[in-house]
Amino acid sequence: MEILWFLFAVGWLAVIVAVFVRRKRGSGLRLVEPGSPDAADPANYGFDRQEDLDIRIPGPDQDLMDALDNVQRTGQWQAASQLLAGTPVKGEQRWQRVQSFGGAAALELAQQPGGGAQWLKAWRLEAEKDAGGAQVHAELLVQQAWRASGGVGSDDHRIILEEAREACRKAALLSPGDPVPYITELAIARGLGYSEAEFDELWAKVIDRAPAHMGAHLAALHYWCEKWHGSREKADAFAHAAAARAPQGSLLAALPLFSVYENLPDVVLTGGFYQSAVVTRAVEGALYAVHTARPDDPMAAHVRHMLLSFLVNMERWAEAMEQVRHVDGYVGALPWSASEDPAAHYAVFRALAVAGYEANGGSPATLPH
């Protein structure tokens, strides 16, 4: 679908380059010239410059970055294998790390066709029974399929997804209790158009291994949105059912917000949309989720990035700034990752959050650290 957030960002980018918008209490809008004492500047808060934002991951994971740097610098796969071997198989972090390694390999191959990702090729040749390597290879194929030159539905797309499905099944045999190969296959289910019966069989394997896995639920939500494009009932039902049965401290309470995002209308013709009951309930559920989740939950950054985009549109500036405070520096998450320039997209919303926050009396001194 058309990404509303990207269209919104493009429209506002030109405005922010020239002016910062500030809302005075009870006085409507006025434009502030850049460089004036009133101009809102994200740098005043210690936020990262746009060019320094990391588009690869949603939040900090230094062990992952160290391993990725090692394999790309040396061409040796052992650091990646060791990291995945030491990452619990049923946790969110393993899925994220497999995605990151697979994404890095896909990017290398796109930049150097036939010559990139030699470390992954060596990994698969030299350690064929390594479960981590098999999972990264399957993820690589999925990401290559979605980048295929023919686009979704093309012969190339389907051929690569068929290969990815076989890779997922081989990976599953190497680590029977690990949900990651099945979560990876959820993206294949969407691309190949699994029937509901086929999807239900796959989903049962996922929840049997990791019933509260947020990443798995996000991947399943994509399937329902794709399957029922133009009708949000199935996706909403899935999201709300997962949120209702979420255990205490689970981020699944935020899933309805992602359903709203996936089903956004192509054009929002009224500002009241973001004050609607549907949006408000979804945002409140997501705020509750991040406030009750473990501080180190690796999926919290995904929820906070999504919250930031909605809270800016709702003009809830202080709460938007709270999300920026937690996630700044990393933009490898929706909605930013859906645009061609995730860092620029995020920077637009961050600048709007800062401008609105300061227009309503906020300052670097009043933002908690």
Can you tell me which residue has the tokens 């194929």? 141
- What is the spatial distance between Cα 102 and Cα 138, in angstroms, rounded to a whole number? 8
Nearest to 84 by CA among 73, 71, 74, 75: 71
Report percent pLDDT > 90 for the chain. 69
Integer-rounded Cα Rg, in Å, for the chain is: 21
- What is the spatial distance between Cα 122 and Cα 142, in angstroms, rounded to a whole number? 19
Higher pLDDT, 49 or 268: 49
Report percent pLDDT > 70 for the chain. 85
Classify residue 6 by burial, with Cβ atoms within 10 Å: 0-12, 13-18, 19+.
middle
Higher pLDDT, 164 or 35: 164
Residues 56 and 72 placed together within one structural domain of the fold: no
SS3 3: coil
* 336 pLDDT higher than 80: yes
Sequence letter at residue 71: V
**Strongest mean pLDDT among 67-76, 104-113, 140-149:** 67-76
| Distances 204 to 99, 196, 220 between C-alpha atoms, Å | 22, 12, 11
Tokens for 80? 């990646």
> Residue 226 has what pLDDT?
78
Tokens for 226? 């794709």
Mean pLDDT of 306-324: 97
- String of DSSP letters for 114-139: TTS-HHHHHHHHH-TT-HHHHHHHHH
- pLDDT-based confidence at residue 2 (cuts at 50, 70, 90): very low
Q: For the chain, how far is it from start to end, CA to CA, in angstroms? A: 37
- CATH number of the domain that residue 102 is part of: 1.25.40
Among residues 227, 253, 277, which one ends one of the domains? 227
Residues 280 and 183 placed together within one structural domain of the fold: no
Which residues neighbour 337 within 8 Å (Cβ) at sequence distance 6 or greater?
A: 55, 331
- pLDDT-based confidence at residue 232 (cuts at 50, 70, 90): confident
Q: pLDDT for 82-102, tens place per residue?
A: 999 999 988 899 999 999 999
* 335 pLDDT higher than 80: yes
Which range marks the domain in which residue 81 is found? 64-227
Q: pLDDT for 247-268, tens place per residue?
A: 989 999 999 999 999 988 765 6
Q: Does 88 sit behind a cis peptide bond, omega within 30 degrees of 0 on the bond before it? A: no
Residues 220 and 164 placed together within one structural domain of the fold: yes
- What is the spatial distance between Cα 49 and Cα 245, in angstroms, rounded to a whole number? 40
Which residues neighbour 11 within 8 Å (Cβ) at sequence distance 6 or greater?
A: none
- What is the spatial distance between Cα 85 and Cα 87, in angstroms, rounded to a whole number? 6
- pLDDT-based confidence at residue 271 (cuts at 50, 70, 90): low
Among residues 174, 203, 227, which one ends one of the domains? 227
SS3 23: strand
> Residue 90 has what pLDDT?
85
Tokens for 192? 């190949």
Residues 260 and 124 placed together within one structural domain of the fold: no
Residues 122 and 9 placed together within one structural domain of the fold: no
Higher pLDDT, 279 or 36: 279
Residues 44 and 93 placed together within one structural domain of the fold: no
Classify residue 85 by burial, with Cβ atoms within 10 Å: 0-12, 13-18, 19+.
exposed
Residues 121 and 239 placed together within one structural domain of the fold: no
Higher pLDDT, 198 or 232: 198
Sequence letter at residue 40: A
* 156 pLDDT higher than 80: yes
Residues 240 and 200 placed together within one structural domain of the fold: no
Residues 6 and 148 placed together within one structural domain of the fold: no
Mean pLDDT of 286-312: 95
Counting the structural domains of the chain, the total is 2
Which residues neighbour 276 within 8 Å (Cβ) at sequence distance 6 or greater?
A: none
pTM reported for the whole predicted model: 0.86
Q: How many CA atoms lie within 13 A of 367 on its CB side?
A: 23
Average pLDDT, the chain: 86
Residues 22 and 94 placed together within one structural domain of the fold: no
Among residues 206, 227, 248, which one ends one of the domains? 227
Residues 175 and 143 placed together within one structural domain of the fold: yes
